[in-house]
Amino acid sequence: MATQLLKGSGKLSGKLSPIKTFIADLPKHLIPQPHSSPLAAGSTARRLVIVGDVHGARKSLETLLDEVGFERIKGDHLILVGDLVNKGPDSPGVIDLAIKLGASAVRGNHENAVLCAASAIEATNVESLTAKVASGKLSLSDKHDGDTKGHNELSEELREPDKAHENTPETKPRLTSTITAATLSSHQIDWLASLPLMLRINLPPRPESSLGNVVVVHAGLVPGVSLEQQDPYAIMHMRSLTQPEDLFEPVEAAGEEGWAAAWDRSQEQLGEGETPTTIIFGHDAKRGLQLGKYTFGLDSACVYGGQLSALIIETRETGIYHRIVEVPCADPAVTPKIKKDTSGNNSEAAANISSTGVLPKTGE
C-alpha cells in the first residue's frame, strides 16, 4: 500500500493514502422510504443512525446505540462520519463493532494517517526490524494475533520522534497513528482502506423533509465545486474557508466562521427547481455540535469528555424526519494536545477541557 504526497489546492496539502472509492452511494435497500411510497413495499430499511467522531471510544458508541435502540435486524443502518480511530482507548474495538454491524463510513484524517502509517510499517526493512528485535530495541507482544500488522509494543526508542520526524511531518506518520496501525489486523486495515471519501444518500424527495440531497464527509466541502472536483485532502481536513479572489479556498484552521455557514448560504441561493444538498460531517470538535439549515456537524468532542452525537433519519407514517440524539462520553476522557503559546495558560486550558469537555480555540 503505497502513499503519495498530495499538493492539494489552496493552503491544504499532505500525505494521502491511495483512495479506492472517491464517492460511494448508499445502497437503495438501506435508505428509509416513506410508508406511502411504492418503494416501501418489501423494504426493511427503517432508520439511518449517523454518528460523529468516535475516536476509539467504543463504550460511548455502544452507549449511543443503546440509547437510540439500534437494531440492525429491524432495518437500522449505522453510518460513521470518519475518525473512528486514534486518541481513545479502543480503536480496534470500534472498527470491529462497525464491521459487525455492517456499518457504512467515510475516511477521516485519522483513518488516512493510520493507513499511511500502516504503509510505512509494511515497507520497513525486514533485516533492520529483525536486528532491532534481537538487540532488544523493539519488543513484540507474545499475545498478538498472527494477522496483526506491525507490533503491539513499541520500544522507547521508537516512541521518541527523531528530528526528521519533527521537521518533515509529511514524510513520516505521527507516532499515535503508527501505534494504532500496529494494533490493527490486516482485515481491519483493509476495511479502513475501503472507505470512500464521500457517501451520497439519495433520500426520496419529500415536502416535509428539509434535507434534500445528502452527502456524508468527514471535514467539509467547498461551495460551488462539484463533488467530483473536490480536493480529497481538504475533504478530510478543512474547517473554514478563505476567499482571496473569486473562489473559496479551504483551510484547516478554525477561522472566524466555519465552512458550513458558507455552504448554507450557497444552498439558499440555488435557483428555482434546484434541490439543495445537505452535508453531514464531523472533524470540528472546537465548534461542537453544529446545526445549520443544510449542514450538520456531529463532532461534539466525545473523546475529550464531551458528547457523542448522532443524526437519526427515520420514516414515519407521514414521511421522513430527522432528529439529534446525544449521550455523555462513557470512556475515559483524553486531554487534547495544546499548542504552545506565550500566555502561559496551556495547562489551565487543558484542565478546563478535562473537567468540562469543552475545547478552547487552540490545540489540534
Residue spans of the domains in the chain: they are: 335-364
Q: In this structure, how many other beta carbons lie within 10 angstroms of the beta carbon of residue 33?
A: 20
For residue 20, give every residue at least 6 positions away whose Cβ sits within 8 Å of its Cβ, in sequence order, or none.
193, 194, 196
Are 44 and 122 in contact by the 8 Å Cβ rule? The answer is: no
CA 317 to CA 321: how far, in whole Å? Answer: 10
Residue-level pLDDT at 295: 96
- Report how far apart, in Å, the C-alpha atoms of 292 and of each of 81, 268, 299 are: 17, 12, 14
pLDDT at 215: 98
Reported as a single tens digit per residue, the pLDDT across 145-192 is 444 444 444 433 333 333 333 434 444 457 889 999 999 999 999 999
Indicate the average pLDDT of the chain: 78
Q: Is residue 344's pLDDT more than 90?
A: no
* Mean pLDDT, rounded, for 83-109: 97
Alpha-carbon distance 113 to 87, whole Å? 12
Strands in 198-201's sheet, in edge-to-edge order, are 23-25, 198-201, 213-216, 277-281, 295-297, 290-291
Residues sharing a CB contact under 8 Å with residue 142, sequence separation 6 or more, in sequence order: none
In what side-by-side order are the strands of the sheet with 104-105?
A: 104-105, 76-80, 47-51, 307-316, 319-328
Express each pLDDT in 227-263 by its tens digit. 999 999 999 999 988 766 666 777 777 777 789 999 9
- How far, in Å, CA of 15 to CA of 28, rounded? 33
pLDDT score at 122: 81
293/262 Cα distance (integer angstroms): 11
